[in-house]
Chain A
Amino acid sequence: MEGFTWNIGDKIVNSRLIIGSALYPSPKIMVEAIQASRAEIVTVSLRRQAAGDKDGKEFWQIIKDLKINVLPNTAGCHTAKEAVTTAMMAREVFATNWIKLEVIGDQYNLQPDPFELVKATKALIKEGFEVFPYTTDDLVLATRLVDAGCNILMPWGSPIGSGKGLMNPYNLEAIRNRYPNINLIVDAGIGKPSDAVQALEIGYDGILLNSAIALANEPVIMATAFKNAVNAGVLAKQAGMMQKKELASPSTPTIGTPFWHND
């Protein structure tokens, strides 16, 4: 649908939802949920694999069969060096220059390490990567990443897997207002469809989520709910929302109202 077209990382997709591939009850449910979400970008990862282990191979075949874009991540990395090495390995295995750059600085809330994140970003952009940096909602950090050459920023709504939604909409809006031409994606913390609607209503270009769908009681139904939520948010932003007012004003015309009180 034309209104949902999104130019991201030199590709055009028709959904503003980026979906994760982890935590589903089964591979079958993962496939059904991804298809129901209509997402055209799915996140994947790399892990050590023992020789002869078929799990990784089977998983990758399932993802390839979906025929959508893959966005590899650097989950688990704590230094720029680890993240750069992981990104290089991901580029070779997944045959894409896209990388969801995660450099974790705190094990408790999985907050990105801003210093290592910027260092890794600079190194990867130099190597020709399209960096999707998982960052906080800090405006100065956003500026450092844009200065490093990022076309995309992915501030958190709240900590990964917390489902707490957008904890600081003010900060997220500040980044939106400062960088109107950067692709902004809320990554992490989305817990329910209304969080996704909110992100798009404040002008974010997309959302990235995993747990909110994979950990729902019915992931496939939740995937449909998020598909509709994301579309609603995009349309609401396009339509332009009414201004808030301090006082009530009647929506039904008052002229000709019977029993009108003139006194």
Chain B
Amino acid sequence: MIDVKHLSKSFGDNLVLDDISEHIFPGEKVVIIGPSGSGKSTFLRCLNLLETPTSGVITFDGAEITHPKADINAIRRQMGMVFQHFNLFPNMTIRKNITLAPVQTKLMSQAEADEEAAALLRRVGLEEKADAWPAQLSGGQKQRIAIVRALAMKPKVLLFDEPTSALDPEMVGEVLEVMKELAREGMTMVVVTHEMGFAREVGTRVLFMDGGKIVEQDEPHAFFAHPKEPRTVEFLSKVL
């Protein structure tokens, strides 16, 4: 589904991603873990071109998105993204946050989008917040809305950039619950996270990144039970 070939990214002299090749298959839930500065967020942000790769080729559903003539907007419509800091639009109500993109990109009429927003909000238990403003919501509620906002575009894949890192501990559960449900429904997901429990329970594959490279990867049970690389063992011993 997403094919990455020889992806490198540097900021100035700082090489953040070092020749990464990887493939993400439909229905996979890929969890990316690693220490800070390992390049995991940059890798995720390259997948929908929020960061421009320095070199390498990324293909999504057969279309080369790193091609200079590629229609980035059309590709991004099919790849939802959820951010660490939610990034809800504070100048709009929750309903408007959710319906803006589907309506402006002519995916739906305003009426259809309103209906879709109501249905999605019901799914995450926030239907009564449709007319609220982002500033009135808790962090956990904001992140659930952010997920709904991404889902409203009916994406083929969802990218999560540390979705629970900015939350109070007691709010992490409600967000993970929504993500688990999405996973059960078969959504393709790429998740950068520090939640090892989530990686173990939901992931179909765990990638461990360090120093701009994917050091080790495996299905979660084997990955956590028998890590092979010394760097992985060291990291896991600190976080588990």
Q: Decide if A and B are genuine partners.
A: no
* A residues at B contact (CB < 8 Å): none
* B residues at A contact (CB < 8 Å): none
